[in-house]
Chains A and B, each alone.
Chain A
Amino acid sequence: MMATGRLLMVDDSPTVRRLVELTFARSAWEVDYATCGGQAVEIACREPPDVVLLDFVLPDMRGVEVCELLAKDEKTRHIPIVVMSGKGAKVAELFHKHAAFHTAIGKPSSPDEIRTAVESAFASRVRPPETPVTAGSFQQREATAKIIYGLLREPLAQIPNWMAELGSQAPAAYFARKLLSPELVGRILGAVASHGQASRGTVRPPAAGEFPDASLQGSLRGWSVAGLITFLEASARTGELTLVINAETNLLYIRAGEVILVTNREPSRYLRAALPTAARRAVVSREAMEAAEVEQRASGTPVFVTMAASGHFPLADLTEVLRGIGRRLLLDVVDATDVKFAFRDLAVLPAYVEAHGRHVSFARNTQVFGSENGQGAESVSEQQWALVRLRRSPASTTPSADQIFIRETGFSTKIQSLDLTTSERRVLALLDGSSNAGHIALRSGLPYEEALATLGRLAEIQLLRGVRTANTNKQSSARPLMILEPDLDGFQAPLATLLGSRTIPVRLLDLSGEADVVAAVQREQPQAVLLNASVPSSLDAARRVRASAKLSDIVLVAVVDPQMTDRTSELLAAGFDSTLVKPIVFSDIERLLQQ
């Protein structure tokens, strides 16, 4: 059903205001306009709109400041805010602390994108709870407990090692000191605070059959699960999507709009699965199996995850097993139309999802592309079928890292008929006609090989064209550099570009998506690892890398803000070889590589 509400559009650009005006011209939306932050706050306080569409940079203040001002007023703090920025979803992290922030969209955005974002914000409106929520519902408390457990699980596993070092020290104080490090406490407080905030923002008085924690819920009638997922992809949300189909509950975990793990509450789906040899030979006690089944029925945590945690299932196989079963579960439900759904925004996904979650594609079976047996093909373009075929099997040739791609003739027309995945859109957004495939892969945030394969796939359906191969003699076998740095635009992306421009290019690998930093470092064997010292897990990661004899030759560098230079001795004590103060001169990193 089309939404009808009041939209306050805040932008100093007449062109953008006109675009929004045209977007909602034939809708029931009433649109007010403000050209600066001050005017926006004044209008919003006088007559609170249902949604605010806010430009990131305004003549008198930044969008973040407008959010802060609106949050201060009881009448306006609940109004969902959609931010428009040339940097698109990348600015979202600046706004996440604001409960009213809904999503960020690109600038310019298409009328469809604007409408979708505004209507999604409208649907998610938070009204002040009719009954005050104090300690939260049982589900909230349970979810919070899971978050804390997820953060504690790794340090808890260290207890046997600590016991060996205990000596004559008092056990309680010793373990408390070891376990509750300031970094860990900070992470717990941060996670609990943001989760509590998200939960409070979405509480509605529960009604029969409703999901009390959901920020989005309802029934799909004549609208497929694929459509719902596409909608969530567009909003780049992170959280848990519950789908109830024929009394069976499926859980889809979504990170930044991408489905990364699918599970359900029926253990038999897992136990019937074709498993790798090592997994089939695993010896599992009856008690352990029953406990795992109970856990899955209660929380959806796959039996194999619980069994792996207790050492009864080979950890090495777990990611692929979960991905394979999750994919089958997703393909089973993706076309369903009689579905009850609920989406819950989560600040932190369950630990096993973070550890084993990988992109799970549903594109093969969506209604857009027709079903596996070709039904519905008459409504599908040749281009779409070509894309479906390519997604079923990898591209026949993966481009080399130094290949440069440009848009093929007719790109704009062709792309309109394609339903591209988030990964494909992300790679396309980075095309600039001069960056080679390797640079694009590094900047995409996707696994390197996956990004290259995506480029190859888009070239095979003639959406892109490889124009020339530059600097083939520059192909480098140099060991990569690894980095944990939250400033992606200002630090990581330009560093990747500078490293790629060297006579001997060096790849930059992002550690932020890695569940186990030490395992990733062991796998990639980088020349050096740069860790931002303000990231709470950096110190722990440095200590763990230093503790590994196999990684003794890897240079560990702490990247510090100018205000943090007094922490140098602490960082060196944690195992860092040196510190670099922001803004870092690139030649210092060059020197590091020459060492």
Chain B
Amino acid sequence: MTLQRTAAILPAHVSPEQLNWLLGKCRDFRANARVVSDGNFSGPEPMVVIAALPVRERRIPKECLHFINHHAPRASLLLICDEPLVRPSVSLVEGRVTLIAWSSGLEAVCARLRVLLVEMADSDMPFGERATAHWWAACQIDSRAAPVGADADGSLRIAFGLNGISSQPELPPSAHLGLSSHADTWQIEWPDAPGTLWLLSALRLPAVSDLAVAYGGKGQVSFRAASGDITLAVTRSVGRSLSAETLKDLSAHTNGGGPPLFDAISDRARGYADGGVLVVEIR
């Protein structure tokens, strides 16, 4: 049974301003959000539960666990804390719990909410996006959302046309981006087309790398994937307008991970007749 797009917000440790902001964001994502009052909740089972973590608390609050057990056994939990985290966000328990800090920025909180709603939406793809417990992906070709398919085991392998839709898939040479089922290995096969495939992560050094320069034209290459990795594939036309510098600036402004980066680059891609963007983020 597919869950309805519903979110439940536990108001403890959430200020009125934060609560209003969360309700507004849920509306933006076309999710019916309800505030849980004294542990009571009626209506359809929520797909996402949003709760706040008190300062210095390191465990999921009891009332939160109680609510999930009784009212939302299949839901994902978005836990927002009021202390800075070393990593922008942390995904735990096979993606069921996502921990993020308010200090990461509203855009980052919003992006995590979006990822959870996309994951729980199953085959319903209002954003042209797809998410599993391990990754989130979105694709846009020629200004239109393009479907992102996943294998039954949760692995991902996408053929990407570097010259836009007219050449998709482009053979030869092929441009393929893949991710193993548990999102622990990137698999790429990419032509020698600098600027068309990037890896971004605040937890990698350097934070922005041109994978097409490193691995382009070398056949199929695999390397370790890590939580927080974002790969960005773009068509040649869009690639020509990107550089490591611009991506660094862009990722600094869009520290919410894959979704805001995808929004920013797909906006840019709309300016090109054959503009195309694919973003895959490991949660």
Contact = CB atoms under 8 A, between A and B. Distances in A.
Interface of A: 56-57, 62, 487, 490-491, 494-495, 498, 501-502, 561-563, 581-587, 589
A476 to B, nearest CB: 15
Contacts of A501: 86
A490 B205 contact: yes
B250 to A, nearest CB: 12
A583 to B, nearest CB: 4
Interface in B197-217: 199, 201-209, 214-215
Given A562-B214, A563-B214, A587-B226, A491 B203 contact: no
A494 B204 CA distance: 9
A490 B208 contact: yes
Contacts of A494: 202, 205-207
29 contacts: A56-B245, A57-B243, A57-B245, A62-B245, A490-B205, A490-B207, A490-B244, A491-B205, A491-B206, A494-B207, A495-B205, A498-B203, A501-B86, A561-B214, A562-B214, A563-B214, A581-B223, A582-B205, A582-B206, A583-B199, A583-B204, A583-B206, A584-B205, A585-B224, A585-B226, A586-B203, A586-B204, A587-B226, A589-B205
Contacts of B248: 490
B37 interface: no
Contacts of B246: 57
Q: Which of A491, A563, A583, A587 has the most CB of B within 10 A?
A: A583
Contact of B204 (A57, A561, A584): A584
A581 B86 CA distance: 23
- The SS class assigned to the A binding surface is mixed
Interface residues of B, number: 21
Contacts of A490: 205-208, 244, 248
A62 B214 contact: no
Contacts of B204: 583-586
B215 A562 contact: yes
Given A502-B86, A561-B214, A583 B243 contact: no
Interface string B212-239: 0011000000011010000000000000
- The SS class assigned to the B binding surface is mixed
Nearest to B206: A490
Nearest to B214: A562
Contacts of B209: 582-583
Contacts of A57: 243, 245-246
A583 B245 contact: no
Top 9 nearest A-B pairs (CB, nearest first) are A490-B206, A562-B214, A583-B204, A583-B209, A585-B226, A586-B203, A584-B205, A491-B205, A501-B86
A494 B248 CA distance: 12
B87 to A, nearest CB: 9
Contacts of B86: 498, 501-502
B107 to A, nearest CB: 18
A584 B223 CA distance: 11
B203 A585 contact: yes
Nearest to A559: B205
A292 B243 CA distance: 53
A586 B243 contact: no
B101 to A, nearest CB: 13
Contacts of A498: 86, 203
A494 B245 CA distance: 15
Contacts of B202: 494
Interface in B120-179: none
Contacts of B244: 490
Given A57-B245, A586-B204, 8 more contacts: A56-B245, A57-B243, A490-B244, A494-B205, A561-B214, A582-B209, A583-B199, A583-B205
B271 to A, nearest CB: 12
A490 B201 CA distance: 12
Interface string B243-261: 1111010000000000000
A205 B246 CA distance: 44
Nearest to B249: A86
A438 to B, nearest CB: 16
A498 B203 CA distance: 8
Nearest to B223: A581
Nearest to A587: B226
Contacts of B226: 585, 587
Nearest to B243: A62
A501 B201 CA distance: 16
Interface in B76-130: 86
Contacts of A495: 205
Contacts of B206: 487, 490-491, 494, 582-583
Contacts of A581: 223
Q: Which of B199, B209, B246 has the most CB of A within 10 A?
A: B209
Given A502-B86, A563-B214, A586 B245 contact: no
Contacts of A62: 243, 245
B214 A586 contact: no
A194 to B, nearest CB: 24
A583 B207 contact: yes
A241 B246 CA distance: 38
Interface string B182-208: 000000000000000001011111111
B201 A583 contact: yes
A498 B206 CA distance: 12
A490 B206 CA distance: 5
Contacts of B245: 56-57, 62
A533 B215 CA distance: 19
A226 B28 CA distance: 62
Contacts of B205: 490-491, 494-495, 582-584, 586, 589
A62 B246 CA distance: 11
Contacts of B199: 583
A589 B226 CA distance: 13
Nearest to B103: A434
Interface in B11-69: none
B186 to A, nearest CB: 11
A487 B206 CA distance: 8
Nearest to B201: A583
A589 B224 CA distance: 14
A585 B226 CA distance: 7
Nearest to A87: B245
Nearest to A56: B245
A502 B86 CA distance: 7
Nearest to A85: B245
